Each structure stands twice: as C-alpha cells, then as structure tokens.
Amino acid sequence: MPAGNNQRGADNAAGNIHRVGARLRDAAWMLRKFVCYGAIRMKLAWILWLASAFHNAASDRACLAATVYLEARGEPVTGQMAVAEVGLRRRDSGQWGSSLCHVLRARGQFALSTTSKNYVFDDADAWNQAWFVAGVALDVWKLPAAWRPSLVPNADHFYAADVMTLPPGWAKGPPLAVIGDHRFYHAD
C-alpha cells in the first residue's frame, strides 16, 4: 500500500476524532448554558448520553446532579447533599460500581435507573440547584475521609417516606438520620 494512503487514513482518523471532540465540547457547552441561563428542557437520555461520553469529573457531576434533581429536588439543600453523599459513599465502597455514574445507574438503586429516559428536566431553578449541590458534594468528597463533613455518617441507603407507604425491606430499625422526607440507613 502506498505511503500516501496510510497518511490519508491517519488524517481521516484525526479528523474524525476532532469532529467527535467538537461535538462533545458543544454538548458540554449546551449543558453549561442550560445551567447558567435556565433555558432548560433536557431529556434524561441526553444527560446520560453526555455523561457516558466524558468518563471524567464532568460525567460524575452530570449523573450526580440528575440524581439529586430526580431524588430530592423538593428537599432542603441539606437533604440534597445527603442524597449526594449516599451516592458518593456507595462509589467508594465499590459494591455498586467502579464509577459514580455506574453506581447511580445501578439497576433499581437510584432514580437514574427507574425513571423513563424520556423524562424531561424542565424546572430550571431545581436543575441549577442540583448542579450546584453536585459540584459542592464532589468537592467535599475530595477531602480526606477524616476531614470530610458528613450529614449522614455511614448511610448507604435512603428512601423518601412521602413516596413509599411502607419502608423497604432493608430499612431495619430507626434511621440514622431524617432530613425532609428522606430516611437514611446503613443496610447490611
């Protein structure tokens, strides 16, 4: 094969990588634009696609913000932070997945796996707050465990009492904490 064909193949591959990278940058810019300007009408499927495309801190923040929005948007900020803390604690345990998005999307564990992918995020204020809470929670979680403040120490499960008429089977004994409508537990 002539050397020129190899060069053209390399140029095409580089061009494809550049186009994909540009699309991902555009998608990330759109997400930031929605967050900053409140022009929000996003489907859960789009957020999850964007998170799967990055595999880094941006994907963690997108998954965590979507989880906070879906699980606790009507709760006080402390309740939203506590929900985020449970997800981060589960990631650290390694029992539910190796990345934060894997943990939050684990089957039947959080709203990301139980909500229709066609669900539309349309409350701009709630999304902005969820995005902010996710960023703060991720920053706090970077601290050494001994220095990290914890709203729900040892909690790795929660449920919303306003949604469930009876506690789930794993909810044994009194909760570790009650924040808003959420009950936080350590399940064995």
Mean pLDDT of the chain: 81
Has residue 20 been placed in a domain?
no
Q: Note the pTM of the prediction, 2 decimals.
A: 0.78
32 within some domain: no
Does 173 reside within a domain? yes
Task: Decide if 174 is inside a domain.
Answer: yes
Q: Is residue 95 part of a domain?
A: yes
Q: Does residue 21 lie within any of the structural domains?
A: no
Query: Is residue 91 one of the residues assigned to a domain?
Result: yes
User: Does residue 152 fall inside a structural domain?
Assistant: yes
Number of domains into which the chain is organized: 1
Is residue 120 within 8 A of residue 41, CB to CB? The reply is yes
Tens of pLDDT, residues 112-170: 999 999 998 888 889 889 999 999 999 999 999 899 999 999 999 999 988 887 888 89
Give the domain range for residue 143: 38-185
